[in-house]
Amino acid sequence: EVQVLESGGGLVQPGGSLRLSCAASGFTFTSYSMAWVRQAPGKGLEWVSSISGGGGVTFYADSVKGRFTISRDSSKNTLYLQLNSLRVDDTAVYYCARGQGIGGYSGLDYWGQGTLVTVSS
Amino acid sequence: EIVLTQSPGSLSLSPGERATLSCRASQSVNSNYLAWYQQKPGQAPRLLIYSASDRAAGIPDRFSGSGSGTDFTLTISRLEPEDFAVYYCQQYVTLPVTFGGGTKVEIK
């Protein structure tokens, strides 16, 4: 059974940092791209970042470029998102999702339950 | 950036009725790289349709997707109680990947 499980969310002050993790199981991790999508309270979905199956190609939304870094560790079947220079408007539930192919971005067929990041002083 | 506009913003229907949801793109979505998702309160989104018209694994056949270019439609042929939710379209033909603002399907 395919599963992805996020962790690492929490309360952080503006300007602070946080690292999100997403543990994947039930599939060959390196054969699929992965993505982070966020949802601010009461709002719609916003794509944040994607990474190819091998980890060599990454993509970012302009709103997070230069502040967030996506990476993956195939030895641990884990996806990461490093969040730096956090702003109040980064407050959201962050979802980890599996892409449908090995390339950079695609439809997202399996989603975790999300982890809440709150940026507040 | 491709902007996806979903309409209507909300839809009030009864179980058994047909639901027709629209997603219009500001530029052509070549190769029909368009997906539809369902999200219920407190839950993660679930992929329903990809490549504009292909149903994802385990999705009932009452859900169907159609369209091409800039106009796409999600149809739910007969609403079941569990179908009342918010639906999002997504394009993944070009960066940035974008989502529509969502259509909420409510029980009448």
**Mean per-residue pLDDT over chain A, rounded:** 96
**Which residues of chain A make contact with B95, given a CB cutoff of 8 A?**
59, 105
| A66 at B interface, C-beta within 8 A | no
| A4 at B interface, C-beta within 8 A | no
pLDDT band of residue A88 (cuts 50, 70, 90) is: very high
CB contact under 8 A, B50 and A107: yes
Contact B68, B32 (CB under 8 A): yes
Look at residue B27 in the predicted model and tell me its pLDDT: 95
Residue A28's contacts (CB-CB under 8 Å, 6 or more residues apart) are: none
Look at residue A62 in the predicted model and tell me its pLDDT: 97
pLDDT band of residue A104 (cuts 50, 70, 90) is: confident
CB contact under 8 A, A107 and B96: no
**Which residues of chain A make contact with B57, given a CB cutoff of 8 A?**
109
Query: Does residue A102 register a pLDDT over 90?
Result: no
| A105 at B interface, C-beta within 8 A | yes
| Closest alpha carbon to A24 in A82, A94, A99 | A99
Look at residue B72 in the predicted model and tell me its pLDDT: 97
CB contact under 8 A, B92 and A107: yes
CB contact under 8 A, B95 and A46: no
Look at residue B12 in the predicted model and tell me its pLDDT: 96
| A58 at B interface, C-beta within 8 A | no
State the nearest Cα–Cα gap between B11 and chain A, in angstroms. 17
pLDDT along chain B (108 residues), means of 10: 96 96 95 93 97 95 96 97 97 95 96
Look at residue A103 in the predicted model and tell me its pLDDT: 75
Query: Does residue A101 register a pLDDT over 90?
Result: no
Residue type, B31: S
Q: How far is CA B15 from CA A9, B37, B39, B62, in A?
A: 38, 20, 18, 13
Q: DSSP label at A29?
A: G
Look at residue A40 in the predicted model and tell me its pLDDT: 98
Per-residue pLDDT of A5-62, as tens digits, reads 999 999 999 999 999 999 999 999 999 999 999 999 999 999 999 999 999 999 999 9
